[in-house]
């Protein structure tokens, strides 16, 4: 004999237990036998004699406690878990006692399973599975679930699955045990056919009549071989299918087949989606946790940002981002008018200053037709509505060009418009007089007193700075200046810098600067607290959602332990199992995240409709979604790893 036997066992022993004070049970007690390619062997023995244990050993699902198992001349003990998975996939096909089909998958998908792990392309895989099922007379049952099939049909599905990757060696554990005599006979006929085609068949049975149909019968009792008709069958063998190329096993670390990473992911996602759908109520509850988490983060942040902006707008109206600078009357130059436009140009160059708005003011009588009203005239810059967050109610504001050209234009305060033109429908375009100076009304301001509480702020006439200075008050220097800063939190430094500059230019402190720094500090604190609170909410909902995912994944792994065993027996490596359960966890959180985003936006829209100030930010939405995804990855990992580390034999034995 040149080639080594396909399977060679030498002194194989298997012990269970032994820990925690219980004596170890020796189930296999020194089994030695050789099986050659193409043999049809029956292993027969009473129940409890160790047959299934032996089969698990032969199929590389379990490792012996003692002894040497050589497969095609290679010592199996040297192979790691993934290499054993490769060997199972390439060499063995299992037909289990209880069929062991995956309940959520159709007959065809169950048959395809080993090819999935072998990396066969989906189309090719489906074709082969259909061909196998057709050959076994299952044409009309391909898309049925296992619970829609009879025992005989399920057994045929499991035989088709065993043949999917070639099934060089079929390990059949009591394949007729649960079948009526007709179905049993059909299955036996099938095994004979396969044996004739060169498959090595190892049939395990307690029934001597069944065993007698094989070409070689090995009898075991109490974990030992008591008889073996080896020599009778030796002549029958000789043209069996060759074993897989064992040189590949050492090299294998990816797939042997042609499937890409994405095909694998797609396959895992498909299976995951199926499981989610089958357990849709439970999945829905888990989703709900994530949906609420994501939606609340989105809405909370939108409310927070909306509120913050409202606060900022109000602060703008109160002038908390503004400084006021005016002359004090002890200047050696012009009493009360020491600050010049040249000073202001220098101030405008300082960092953190966004606008410098000179103002010239005084009380004047304004005339419209035959009505006179005493009002506060303020000459200012074109940027005033923006800087003071004081929008117009009608018309427009005067422009910088108006200011340069000393245009005779004016904007009425809300109260002035009411008092001066009570029965004029549209004040825009009307001509008013200050003394002999005619001014055309171009706009009316909105009511500022509504926000600040001071109604006299609306009894005002706004003119371009130069028009007011030169044509009304006869002066070039501003009465006071409004200075707006970019960054409210740095207003103190900016004020100091401005004072230093002015002192340098004037040589004495003939000016006064005011701001509302205290209030600004309070505002900053409020917004910080708000941010902190919202982050806390986000963190809590994240953890709650994550615990939900972990809980459901742990349940899933426990419920589907046997499925994991089946997958491992059909060639899934640890990383395949890990990927499958990670995919499920991620799919749950992705779906939850998506629904959460939609729900958050819908809720926000509803709130907007109720006039709640909301600002949605793409960053908050993206962040919430990313958090959901990360939650799935983090909290799904532990259960998925637990699943991938299961021992195939123990997993298969679980209920
Ligand atoms: P058979 O398939 O021939 O009926 P098994 O191989 O299933 O027998 O089991 C043989 C013996 O080994 C039985 O007595 C059984 O109780 C014992 N056994 C099997 N698996 C385990 C295990 N994981 N732990 C302890 N004892 C076991
Ligand atoms: Mg058994």
Q: What pLDDT score does 133 carry?
A: 93
338 and 285, same domain (yes or no) = no
Task: Give the model confidence (pLDDT) of 202-229 as tens digits.
Answer: 999 998 888 988 889 999 999 999 998 8
CA 211 – ligand 2 centroid, Å: 15
Q: Locate tokens 């199926």: which residue?
A: 274
Is residue 258 in some structural domain?
no
Task: Give the model confidence (pLDDT) of 383-409 as tens digits.
Answer: 999 888 889 999 999 999 999 999 999
Task: Give the model confidence (pLDDT) of 5-47 as tens digits.
Answer: 889 999 999 998 777 777 888 999 999 999 998 899 999 999 8
Is residue 261's pLDDT more than 50?
yes
What ligand has the least distance to the C-alpha of 649? 1
With cut-offs at 50, 70 and 90, classify the pLDDT of residue 254: very low
Q: Locate tokens 């099939």: which residue?
A: 149
550 and 502, same domain (yes or no) = no
Closest CA to 458 of 393, 533, 542, 522: 393
371 and 423, same domain (yes or no) = yes
Q: Is 18 in the pocket of ligand 1 (CB under 6 A)?
A: no
Is residue 130 in some structural domain?
no
Is residue 264 in some structural domain?
no
Number of domains in the chain: 3
Atom number in ligand 1 closest to CA 51: 3
Is residue 232's pLDDT more than 60?
no
Task: Give the model confidence (pLDDT) of 374-385 as tens digits.
Answer: 999 999 999 999
- Whole domain around residue 450: which residue ranges? 321-515
Q: What pLDDT score does 74 carry?
A: 86
Is residue 102 in some structural domain?
no
Average pLDDT over residues 582-600: 90
With cut-offs at 50, 70 and 90, classify the pLDDT of residue 111: very high
Closest CA to 244 of 43, 9, 60: 60
Q: Is 25 in the pocket of ligand 1 (CB under 6 A)?
A: yes
Question: For the whole model, what pTM was predicted?
Answer: 0.65
| CA–CA dist 469, 378 (Å, integer) | 9
Is residue 311's pLDDT more than 80?
no
Is residue 302 in some structural domain?
yes
Q: Is 459 in the pocket of ligand 1 (CB under 6 A)?
A: no
Question: Which of 20, 50, 58, 65 to mutate to test ligand 1, by most ligand atoms within 8 A of the CB atom?
Answer: 50
CA distances to 103, 121, 158, 160, 267 from 128, in Å? 21, 11, 14, 10, 17
Among 515, 535, 558, residue at a domain's last position: 515
Is residue 86 in some structural domain?
yes
Look at ligand 1, atom 20, and give the residue with the nearest C-alpha: 53
Q: What pLDDT score does 280 carry?
A: 86
Provide the CATH number for the domain around residue 175: 3.40.50.300
298 and 378, same domain (yes or no) = no
Question: Which of 25, 31, 61, 62 to mutate to test ligand 1, by most ligand atoms within 8 A of the CB atom?
Answer: 25
CA distances to 201, 324, 341, 361, 476 from 511, in Å? 105, 10, 14, 17, 17
626 and 498, same domain (yes or no) = no
Q: Is 17 in the pocket of ligand 1 (CB under 6 A)?
A: yes
| CA–CA dist 378, 411 (Å, integer) | 10
Task: Give the model confidence (pLDDT) of 430-478 as tens digits.
Answer: 999 999 999 999 999 998 776 555 668 899 999 999 999 999 998 888 9
210 and 82, same domain (yes or no) = yes
């Amino acid at each position: 004999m040149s080639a080594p036997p396909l399977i060679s066992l030498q002194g194989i022993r298997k012990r269970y237990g032994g820990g925690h004070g219980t004596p170890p049970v020796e189930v296999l007690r020194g089994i030695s036998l050789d099986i050659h390619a193409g043999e049809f062997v029956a292993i027969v023995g009473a129940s409890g004699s160790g047959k299934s244990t032996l089969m698990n050993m032969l199929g590389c699902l379990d490792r012996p406690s003692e002894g040497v198992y050589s497969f095609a001349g290679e010592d199996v003990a040297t192979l790691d878990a993934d290499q054993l998975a490769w060997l199972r996939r390439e060499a063995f096909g299992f037909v289990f006692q209880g069929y062991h089909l995956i309940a959520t998958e159709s007959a065809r998908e169950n048959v395809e399973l080993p090819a999935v792990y072998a990396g066969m392309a989906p189309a090719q895989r489906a074709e082969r599975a259909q061909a196998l099922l057709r050959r076994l007379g299952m044409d009309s049952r391909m898309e049925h679930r296992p619970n829609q099939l009879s025992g005989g049909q399920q057994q045929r599905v499991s035989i088709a699955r065993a043949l999917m990757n070639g099934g060089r060696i079929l390990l059949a554990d009591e394949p007729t045990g649960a079948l009526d005599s007709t179905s049993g006979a059909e299955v036996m006929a099938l095994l004979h056919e396969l044996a004739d085609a060169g498959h090595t068949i190892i049939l395990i049975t307690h029934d001597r009549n069944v065993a007698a149909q094989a070409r070689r019968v090995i009898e075991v009792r109490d974990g030992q071989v008591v008889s073996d008709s080896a020599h009778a069958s030796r002549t029958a063998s000789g043209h069996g299918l060759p074993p897989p190329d064992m040189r590949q096993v050492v090299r294998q670390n990816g797939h042997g087949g042609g499937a890409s990473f994405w095909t694998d992911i797609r396959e895992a996602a498909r299976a995951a989606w199926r499981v989610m759908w089958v357990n849709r109520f439970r999945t829905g509850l888990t989703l709900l946790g994530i949906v609420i988490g994501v939606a609340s983060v989105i809405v909370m942040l939108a409310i927070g940002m909306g509120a913050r902006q409202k606060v900022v707008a109000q602060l703008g109206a109160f002038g908390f981002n503004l400084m006021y600078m005016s002359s004090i009357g002890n200047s050696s130059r012009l009493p009360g008018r020491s600050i010049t436009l040249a000073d202001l140009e220098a101030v405008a160059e300082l960092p953190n200053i966004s606008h410098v708005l000179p103002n010239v003011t005084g009380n004047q009588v304004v005339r419209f037709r035959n009505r006179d009203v005493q009002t506060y005239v303020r000459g200012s810059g074109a940027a005033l509505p923006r800087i003071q967050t004081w929008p117009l109610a009608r018309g427009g504001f005067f422009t910088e060009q108006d200011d340069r050209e000393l245009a005779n234009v004016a904007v009425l305060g809300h109260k002035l418009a009411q008092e001066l033109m009570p029965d004029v429908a549209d004040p825009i375009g009307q001509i008013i007089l200050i003394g002999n100076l005619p001014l055309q009304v171009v706009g009316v301001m909105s009511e500022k007193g509504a926000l600040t509480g001071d109604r006299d702020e609306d009894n005002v006439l706004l003119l371009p700075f130069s028009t007011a200075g030169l044509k009304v008050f006869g002066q070039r220097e501003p009465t006071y200046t409004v200075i707006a800063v970019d960054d409210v939190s740095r207003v103190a430094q900016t004020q100091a810098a401005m004072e230093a500059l002015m002192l340098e230019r004037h040589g004495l402190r003939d000016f006064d600067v005011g701001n509302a720094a205290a209030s600004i500090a309070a505002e900053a604190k409020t917004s910080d607290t708000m941010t902190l609170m919202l982050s806390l909410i986000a963190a809590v909902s994240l953890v709650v959602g994550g615990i939900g995912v972990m809980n459901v994944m742990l349940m899933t792994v426990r419920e589907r332990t046997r499925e994991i065993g089946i997958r491992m027996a059909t060639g899934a490596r640890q990383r395949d199992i890990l990927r499958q359960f990670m995919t499920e966890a991620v799919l749950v959180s992705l779906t939850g995240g998506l629904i959460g985003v939609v729900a958050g936006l819908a809720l926000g829209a509803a709130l907007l409709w109720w006039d709640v100030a909301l600002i949605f930010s793409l960053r908050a939405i993206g962040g919430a979604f990313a958090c959901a995804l990360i939650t799935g990855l983090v909290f799904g990992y532990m259960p998925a790893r637990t699943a991938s580390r299961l021992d195939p034999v123990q997993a298969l034995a679980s209920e």
